Structures are given as structure tokens and as C-alpha cells.
Amino acid sequence: MHRDWVFLRGLARESAHWADFPETFTAKVRESRIFLADLPGNGRHFASRSPSSITSMMELIRHSSLSALPATGGSSVEAPRYLLAISLGAMVAVEWMSRYPEEIAGAVLINTSLRGINPIHQRLQWRAWPELARIVLTHDPVLREQRILQLTSRERSQDSALALAFASAFRLRPMRRINLMRQLWAAATYQAPPSPPLAPVLLLSSHADQMVSPACSAAIANAWHAPLACHPWAGHDLPLDDPDWVADRVNTWLSQSPSVCNQVVTDR
């Protein structure tokens, strides 16, 4: 069955930062059509002003995504729309599911957190604060990307070629610091919706996440009675660290019956 996917990146990240994950995903999750969305102020929208609310971000993302992935034959049944999102992007996905439940068939939420479910000290771990400050104050694009990888990745934290590629993307589509601040504010103030999404949700987390505690995904999964899988060694950027693992978990989730999808299963 053909499925449409909208991929959403997180804070200060853009579609180029998926690296080779989309290719891995389409090779394993067959008959998938992917749109790599960029948040306002990021990537192809680097010249835009980033909204200071998740709702406003979602409306802009939704508009561009629906235009890029029109329903096959005019019917959403023929091409169900799924979301795969990480961190801040997952908050946008939650808001989309909450406000337009009829448009989304399911979502995969990676290493995210929600105010109202998760405490602040877990949403952004204290040891990440000084590293984030160093990154913001770093002017050299290559050095900044190296520091970002050291904070967010375990497998590719020393990948100089990847840092160079990401730095090249930044030079082409630089993100303004004011947009970074606005995205931080939007993430910090976004409140979890009063009820769980109607569409099925899969939570994925990383045991070695240095930014967002994996306890956040566990708490969301528990509150929503949604399935959870926790990677044993990956960092915050789970699709970058182990793209095959993510694609395999998505395949398993898609193949399960609704009754099985309501169980919480943790991989450690």
C-alpha cells in the first residue's frame, strides 16, 4: 500500500540534516513517498521569519506539505499521510494531529518532549545547556557543525566529512539567531494537547540522548498508551546514528494490528 510521509526536523535543523536516512527509509519501508519539510526560518525557508508558536509553525508546514503531497486520486484513503518527526518537529506533528486529525493516518515521534507531560529538567537536560551556548557563540560553520554532532550523535560525532557537508548547507541557507531564539521559545511554551491523538503513534527514543531525556518519550507513551522503542546506544539524532533501526521499527509498527500497537515495548 502506498503511503505519503512528511519528515520534520528539529531545532535549527533542515532537510539536508537527514543525510542518507530518506534513502534507507524508502528502501526498507516500501511504497513510501517522502516530503522533506523545512520549518520556517530553516533550510529552503531560511529567509523567512520563524513563528514563536508551534501552532503557527504547523500551519505553514501543513500548507507546504499538502501542496507537495496531494492525495492520490483525490482520496486520502488511497495514499494515507504519515508524519515522521524528531524533537521540535515532533511537537509540530502533534499539533497537526490535534487540529486536523482527519488528515493524518499515523505518526512516528522521535526524541521529543511535551510541556504538561514532561518536567522541564528532562525536556532539556542540564548538561546540554553549556554545549548549546558554545554552539550558538561559534561563528565558524564547520566547527559549529562538529560541536552539534558531538552533542547530538554517538555514531557520527567525529565524522568530519558530514560536518563539512552540513557546514556547506548552512553557508547556502544560513539560519538567523533570532529564528533560533523564536524556535526555542515555541518549544518551551508549547503545551501538550488535552487528549491523545486519534491516529496511531509510535514513540522512539535514544538511551544515550544528551539533550532530551528518554524518560520524556516513555512518559508520553504511557500517557497516550502508545508503543515505545528505546535505542540502546544512539544519541539525540537517532535517524543519523542508526537509520536502519528506525526504519525497521517503523516497518514493524506498520505491520502490527491496532491491538498490538497499543502495547508499550521497549528495546534496551
Measured between alpha carbons, how far is residue 116 from residues 123, 147, 229 in Å?
11, 30, 22
Helix, strand or coil for residue 232?
coil
Query: Quick one: pLDDT at residue 266?
Result: 41
CATH number for the segment(s) 3-261: 3.40.50.1820
pLDDT confidence band for 72 (50 / 70 / 90): low
Check pLDDT > 90 for residue 258: no
The x, y and z cell numbers of residue 254, run together, are 506498520
Percent of the chain with pLDDT over 90: 88
Mention every residue, 6+ apart, whose C-beta is less than 8 A from residue 266: 218, 228, 229, 230
Look at residue 262 in the predicted model and tell me its pLDDT: 39
**What's the pLDDT score for residue 241?**
98
Position 5 pLDDT exceeds 90: yes
Average pLDDT, the chain: 92
Q: Does residue 73 register a pLDDT over 60?
A: no
Q: Which of 36, 89, 82 is nearest to 58 (CA)?
A: 89
- Report whether pLDDT(164) > 50: yes
pLDDT at residue 264, as a whole number: 39
- 263, pLDDT greater than 50: no
Query: What local confidence, expressed as pLDDT, does residue 211 receive?
Result: 96
Q: Which residue has the higher pLDDT, 72 or 263?
A: 72
Residue ranges covered by each domain of the chain: 3-261
Strands (E), 48-90: 81-86
The predicted-structure confidence for 29-56, as pLDDT tens digits, reads as follows 999 999 999 999 999 999 999 999 999 9
